[in-house]
Structure 1
Amino acid sequence: MSADEVRVSNWNLPNAITIVRILLAPVFFVMLLVDGHDHGALRWAAAVLFILAIATDGIDGHIARSRGLVTDLGKLLDPIADKVLTGAALIGLSILGELPWWVTALILVREVGITVWRFVQLKDRVIPASRGGKLKTLVQSIAISLALLPFPALFGGWVDWVNTVFMALALVLTVVTGIDYLVQAWRLNRPAPGAPSNPPSSTR
């Protein structure tokens, strides 16, 4: 059997789930902003939609690995889908005044920067999410979910402290894993030991 015959098609269930997660981001964003500060049914619906959408990250990954449907497109789209969804949530929370803009800006700069780096590396390789990156996404998802759910209105201000702790942890992991990706980029692009820094020019 040739390599073309065993190559996994990009048009498969895991990639479809990932694309749906990207498409749900603007729907969630609109629902969040339309509710505003009412913390009514739309806010609950937006929070539940975010939780369900971000949960599909584990589902599509499990399906891809268990059924042999892992593709380069999936490796690329999966972290992008997470960034689009979490980015929409962070921007929405900052617009509503529930999250400082500097937190959103710091996280988004890291996420956009790493995504651009992944695209630059496409000519040589596909860079999948690292274990640290996946942990960062998990903690970000928990922190954002707690911020979206209007629990303080039901249980009091102590919930805000829990939200703050998780958001601070997410911020630390975002910065640490961002630095780790930069170190990886430096290691991948540095010349091999003993290799000339500049190839000799032709003398013809």
Structure 2
Amino acid sequence: MIPDPAAEPSSGVSNWNVANYLTVLRIALVPVFGWLLLADEGESTGLRIAAFVVFTIASITDRIDGDIARARGLVTDFGKVVDPIADKALMGMALVGLSIIGEVPWWITIIILVRELGITALRFAVIRHGVMPASRGGKLKTALQAFAIGLFVLPLGGFLHVVAWIVMIAALIVTVVTGVDYVFRAVRLRRTSERTLARKARRSA
């Protein structure tokens, strides 16, 4: 399983490091990507291709910033907080933008965004009991979402458009299933954490 940066201890190094630079770059690319996607109401092939390039670059930074932080001992509290915000901003802009130009139905965008924001809030809600690291299903969900969004950003037709829909439906299913799994994991963590067990012990004493 790939480690979750949120579960890594902070290294005490400066926030001014290459891993955090990449995270900030991803945030800066969000409005650029959004403008390219929405310009000319999504009808410009050139701008759609440019949007795909920007989205791909931003997605790559999502992958490597955490790897760099762990490999070089650059894990910081700033990175822990800002990295998931950058991820949600990029995916949210992509899904909302695709729905605005009519590529992806709004109900898909709403389901995915509600799941993403809900699980993020849930992870913060149980942080007193422990960190819920990303699961393999969560990693697969992220990869499928990025792949599906990338395909929809490109002005594809015919068979490739069918492939885009297959990947998007797969991403939607994994998104919902992993969301339910996170809820059960949060409940289990809350019931079995040292904090909860200590409180029960005090009550029974």
1:172 to 2:177 alignment: no
The aligned counterpart of 1:186 is: 187
Residue 116 of structure 2 is matched in structure 1 by: 111
Give 5+ residue unaligned stretches, structure 2: 1-10
Paired amino acid for 1:185: A
Whether 1:7 aligns to 2:12 is yes
Q: CA deviation at 1:100?
A: 0.8
Partner of 2:76: 71
Amino acid at match of 1:54: S
User: Which whole-Å deviations, capped at 9, do the CAs of 1:116-143 have from their partners, x for residues lacking one?
Assistant: 1233344554544333212211111000
Report the Cα distance in structure 1 between the residues aligned to 2:167 and 2:50, rounded to whole angstroms: 22
Considering Cα pairs closer than 8 Å and 6+ residues apart, tell me whether 1 or 2 has the greater RCO.
2
Give me the whole-angstrom Cα distance separating, in 2, the residues matched to 1:46 and 1:104.
18
The CA distance in 2 between the partners of 1:165 and 1:49, in whole Å, is 23
CA distance 1:97–1:175, shift in 2 (3 Å): same
Question: Whole-Å Cα distance in 2 between the matches of residues 77 and 131 of structure 1?
Answer: 22
Match of 1:166, SS state, is: helix
For 2:67 and 2:80, the matched residues in 1 are separated by 13
Equivalent position SS for 1:10: coil
TM-score of the superposed pair, with normalisation by structure 1: 0.83
1:161 offset after TM fit, Å? 0.8
Which residue in 1 is equivalent to 2:28?
A: 23
1:14 shift after superposition: 0.7
2:144 is matched with 139
Aligned-residue Cα RMSD (Å) equals 2.6
SS in 2 for 1:89: helix
Find the counterpart in structure 2 of residue 99 from structure 1. 104
Whole-angstrom CA distance in 2 between matches of 1:30 and 1:14: 26
> Number of paired residues?
193
TM-score by length of 2: 0.83
Of residues 80, 88, 98 in structure 2, which corresponds to 1:83? Answer: 88
Q: Give the match for residue 44 of structure 2.
A: 39
Q: Distance in 1 between matches of 2:127 and 2:198?
A: 24
CA distance in 1, matches of 2:104, 2:154: 14
Q: CA deviation at 1:113?
A: 0.5
2:53 corresponding residue in structure 1:
48
Q: Secondary structure at the match of 1:129?
A: coil
Q: Deviations over 1:38-81 (max 9, x none)?
A: 23222111111011111111221221122111234323432332
Deviations along 1:161-197, whole A, 9 cap, x unmatched? 1001100111011111111111111011115698775
**Unpaired segments ≥5 residues, structure 1:** 1-5
Tell me, yes or no, if the aligned pair for 2:13 and 2:76 is still in contact at 8 Å.
Answer: yes
Question: Identity over aligned residues, as a percent?
Answer: 54
Q: Report if aligned partners of 1:18, 1:77 keep a CA contact under 8 Å in 2.
A: yes
How far is 1:199 from its partner? 5.4
Q: Which amino acid aligns with 2:186?
A: A
- Go from structure 1 to structure 2 and tell me whether the alpha carbon gap of 1:125 and 1:77 turns closer, same or farther (over 3 Å shift): farther
